[in-house]
Each structure stands twice: as C-alpha cells, then as structure tokens.
Amino acid sequence: MTTTEQLYRNAAGLAEIGEVIQPDDAVYAGEIPMAALTEADRLRLLAYPGSLARRVRRRSQTARLRVIYVVPDCATDEAAFEPGRPFNLTPRGRAYNRQPDPEAADPSRAHYWEALFDAHAEELKDSARSADVEIVRASELVNNSGFLSVLRLALRSPGQIADAVRESNPAAEIDEKPLVFAGAACRECGSINGSTDYDPDWDRAQFECEDCDHSQEADIQEQPMWMQEDVLRAATIAALNPAVVIRRPAAKWDAREDLVDSLLMLAVGDGAQPPTRLMPPSLDSEQGGTPLKDLIRLADDWDEDYAELP
Ligand SMILES: [Zn+2]
C-alpha cells in the first residue's frame, strides 16, 4: 500500500487505511504487554487490527490480513534510572526472557505472558476470521539485517541516540552519562549487570557479568542481548517492514514514536521510509470484560481522541 500521510487517527483513520490496505500486507499491532491486558490494550492490540481484517475481507472474500505481535523478550523493566531520566539507563536485573514467570510454570516472564496472549489471539481470530495472527519473539529476529542495523547503532553510537531523544522531545531530561541503550546479557545467569564492549570491526561483544563473574565474548548474533524499548521497537519494525504500525494513543507517545522513526533513519539510512501509523483513541481502562465484537464496533464508530465504553 502507499499513503501520503503517515499518521491516521481513530475511526476515520481506520476507514482510510481500510480502503488502501492490501491482502497479505502486515499490520504491526504492537508489543505484547508483560502484564494483564487493559481494555485500552485490547482496543489497540485486538479491535483495531480486527476492524482492518474485516475491512479487507469485505473487499475480497478470500483475502487475509497478517497481524503481527512482538514479544519484547529482550527488553527489560529492571534497568535502573534516576527519577525523570528514563533514557539514562544503567543495566541492572534481567531481560523479560530471563525474569522468572510469576507462577513458576513457564521458563520466563516473557513466555508466561506470551502463552496467556494466545487466548486473546484466538478471540481475534473468532471475531475477524480473515486475520492471520503471527507472534514473533524479538530475540528471534537477531539474524535479520534491519534488526541488526538498529542493534549495532545502539551498541556503537549511544550519543547519536541521545541526540535523537533531545530532537524528538526538547523537554526530555537526558544526561551525558550513563548512555546505554543495548548490551549483552550473561549467558550463564541472564543478568545484564555489567558493561558491554562492542567491537564494530568484528561485530563482537565482550561482557563481564557483575553478578556471577562470568566473562564472555561472542558475535552479537550469538550473544544474548537486551535493548531499551524504543530501540527494540525500531529494530523490530526494521525487521518486519509492516505496511501499518498501530501506535499508542495520546500526545505523550508522539515523541517516542518520533524517536523510533529517528532510530530507523539513523540505522537504515536516508532511504528508510517511516511506516504509516494508525492511532486509536485513549480509553479509560478501569472497566473490563467488553466482548471484542463490541470493541471492534467502538473502533469503527468512535472518531474522537478520547473514547468511553458504552
Ligand atoms: Zn552472570
């Protein structure tokens, strides 16, 4: 599909994209939350792609729409930062793929929420039968050249990423140090606590684990890695090359999406084309349990930036 505008909003945006999206186009619905889904998550992650899949189907009975979800397994919420400085990360703790599952039944927290998301994917397939759901683990994209170009940027040039943060959000507080947007994770204990030396000539990472003292060196495709979440989003978009990205609503995410686009440009070069984005309305998430069919109807009808459940 080709579009001239890059951001489409609410029901009108859904209708416009529904007109131009092609069967077999990929919709990047988003990252699977490492927590229970709110109604706002369900509107964004399930109802919006569901509505697009129905629209494609209306134009052709045999058409399918690829809906892609990413398990952000190599991101983390355990890295440390000073209050108000979320981009000045110090590697601490583990990535989601090495954090313990809250019920100790799956190998990790990432596996746990991925498994629970299957029920939501089934709900989507029931409500929009032309949706083909793909769930991709970010860590499994590490052999993709687009993914690697963003990872290398983060390892090689954290200062360029800090500049991109300042450009995308002049109000953002970001200090000169620490500037770490990606690094190795210990292959023994999973800890990211330690400094990563990246050698761009050999594309290898050296890591000394401060938790278990294990030292290791490997090609970056072989070493387990963690990535800051915007870097990871840029890397997965570069790898999956979706026709449409569904983004988080509300102005506070504008700068973060601009940052993702800047990272794509920096990593892939001037030829990179930022993906078309579709933004659902903000939704008060306190109520729950709305059937997905009703959420799809809300998505189809609601053309303002703030929605309420009926
Ligand atoms: Zn270790």
Domain assignments of the chain as residue spans, ordered by start: 7-307
Residue 75: closest CA among 34, 135, 41, 29: 34
**Cα 42 to middle of ligand 1, angstroms:** 37
pLDDT per position as a tens digit, 39-70: 999 999 999 999 999 999 999 999 999 999 99
pLDDT tops 60 at residue 119: yes
**pLDDT value at position 27?**
98
Q: How large is the average pLDDT for residues 150-173?
A: 96
Q: How large is the average pLDDT for residues 23-31?
A: 94
pTM attached to this predicted model: 0.96
Q: Considering only residues 5 and 151, tell me which one the structure prediction assigns the higher pLDDT.
A: 151
Residue 3 binned pLDDT confidence (cut-offs 50, 70, 90): very low
Evaluate whether 31 touches 242 at the Cβ level (below 8 Å): no
**Cα 188 to middle of ligand 1, angstroms:** 5
**Cα 219 to middle of ligand 1, angstroms:** 18
- 245 burial level (CB within 10 Å; 0-12, 13-18, 19+): buried
Q: How large is the average pLDDT for residues 218-230?
A: 98
**pLDDT value at position 309?**
83
**pLDDT value at position 284?**
82
**Cα 207 to middle of ligand 1, angstroms:** 9
Cα angle 310, 32, 198; round to 5: 150
CATH superfamily of this structure's domain 7-307:
HUPs (3.40.50.620)
> What letter does residue 7 receive in the DSSP assignment?
E
**Cα 95 to middle of ligand 1, angstroms:** 13
Q: What DSSP string describes 119-152?
A: HHHHHHHHH-TTEEEEEEEGGGGTT-HHHHHHHH
279 backbone φψ class: left, alpha, beta (φ>0; ψ -120 to 50): beta
**Cα 276 to middle of ligand 1, angstroms:** 40
Residue 271 binned pLDDT confidence (cut-offs 50, 70, 90): confident
pLDDT tops 50 at residue 4: no
Q: Residue 226 and residue 213: Cα distance in Å, rounded?
A: 18
**Cα 192 to middle of ligand 1, angstroms:** 8
**Cα 34 to middle of ligand 1, angstroms:** 23
Residue 251: closest CA among 140, 187, 171, 149: 171
- Share the mean pLDDT of the chain: 94
Q: Considering only residues 92 and 1, tell me which one the structure prediction assigns the higher pLDDT.
A: 92
Q: Residue 92 and residue 76: Cα distance in Å, rounded?
A: 9
Percentage of the residues of the chain whose pLDDT score is greater than 90? 88
Q: How large is the average pLDDT for residues 224-242?
A: 97
